């Protein structure tokens, strides 16, 4: 894979350090398990995740072929034994195809990560993400979301409101989601909201936990 396939995301350089600060605390004790990133984008985040958590096996995924090529190129350059090859995944599809040849395992993940996806995709994608997390996370497993969100039906800054309006002009199915809707949807799929953390530039980290079947 040519290094020329590597894409560079400006937001990665802005958010990787605060995201890792949150994950180092949240993912402590997950060594020996698997983590799935949904919507890996350029692949820069997952390379740093694999480097920061060498005892976790990381599975990057994306829908865009250019992103998949970029992820593969960053992975090749990093040469990390715990970072798997990227696979195509449409979170909005009912069947993620896990467990099939050369795809992530279907027997459970200790963590899922999804960064800057929910606002630039249809709500059906977030619905599929929550359904997949409820299906493939092991009890006690964590779903980590990062991005801009509204709170109590109010934008947290004028810039977020303008961003939301802009997104909806690009695609009426896109837009900044409300944390309450994330919590409600997660609960429908056996996920309990654990924490909401203020992040730089009016973003949030949201962590949901997969409940045991008798509590879901």
Number of C-beta neighbours around residue 168 at 10 A: 13
As given in the structure block, the two tokens for residue 145 are 């979301």
pLDDT digits (tens, 9 = 90+) for 177-200: 999 999 999 999 999 999 999 999
As given in the structure block, the two tokens for residue 139 are 């009890």
Locus of tokens 């530039």: 201
Alpha-carbon distance values, 59 to 43, 70, 85, 156, 200 (Å): 11, 14, 7, 32, 26
pLDDT (average), residues 8-12: 97
Report yes or no on 215 lying in a domain.
Answer: no
Report yes or no on 192 lying in a domain.
Answer: yes
Beta bridge partners of 146: 115, 205
Assign 197 to helix, strand or coil.
Answer: strand
* Rg (alpha carbons) of the chain, rounded to whole number: 16
Report yes or no on 30 lying in a domain.
Answer: yes
pTM: 0.96
pLDDT exceeds 70 at position 28: yes
> Which has more confidence, 31 or 34?
34
pLDDT of residue 107: 86
Q: Which residues of 67-76 are buried (b: 16+ CB within 10 A; e: fewer)?
A: bbbbbbbbbe
pLDDT exceeds 60 at position 10: yes
Q: From 110, 113, 55, 112, select the one nearest 80 (Cα to Cα).
A: 55
Domain count, the chain: 1
Range of the domain at 22: 3-210
CATH of residue 71: 3.40.50.150
Residue 37's contacts (CB-CB under 8 Å, 6 or more residues apart) are 45, 46, 49, 58, 59, 60, 61, 112, 113, 114, 115
CB 57 within 8 A of CB 35: yes
The total number of residues written for the chain in this structure: 216
pLDDT exceeds 90 at position 65: yes
pLDDT exceeds 70 at position 210: yes
Report yes or no on 132 lying in a domain.
Answer: yes
């Amino acid at each position: 894979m040519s290094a020329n396939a590597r894409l560079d995301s400006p937001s990665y350089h802005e958010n990787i350090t605060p995201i890792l600060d949150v994950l180092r605390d949240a993912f402590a004790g997950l060594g020996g398990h698997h983590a799935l990133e949904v919507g890996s984008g350029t692949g820069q985040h997952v390379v740093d995740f694999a480097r920061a958590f060498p005892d976790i096996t990381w599975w990057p995924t994306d829908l865009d072929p250019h992103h998949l090529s970029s992820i593969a190129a960053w992975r090749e350059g990093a040469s990390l034994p715990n970072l798997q090859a990227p696979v195509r995944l449409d979170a909005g599809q009912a069947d993620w195809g896990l467990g099939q040849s050369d795809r992530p395992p279907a027997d459970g993940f200790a963590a899922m990560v999804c960064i800057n996806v929910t606002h630039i995709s249809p709500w059906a994608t977030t619905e599929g993400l929550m359904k997949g997390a409820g299906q493939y996370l092991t009890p006690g497993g964590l779903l980590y979301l990062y991005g801009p969100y509204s709170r109590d039906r109010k934008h947290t800054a004028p810039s977020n409101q303008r961003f939301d309006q802009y997104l909806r002009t690009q695609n009426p199915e896109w837009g900044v989601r409300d944390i309450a809707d994330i919590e409600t949807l997660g609960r429908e799929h056996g996920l309990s909201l654990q924490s909401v953390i203020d992040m730089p530039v009016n973003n949030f980290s949201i962590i949901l936990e997969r409940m045991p079947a008798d509590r879901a």
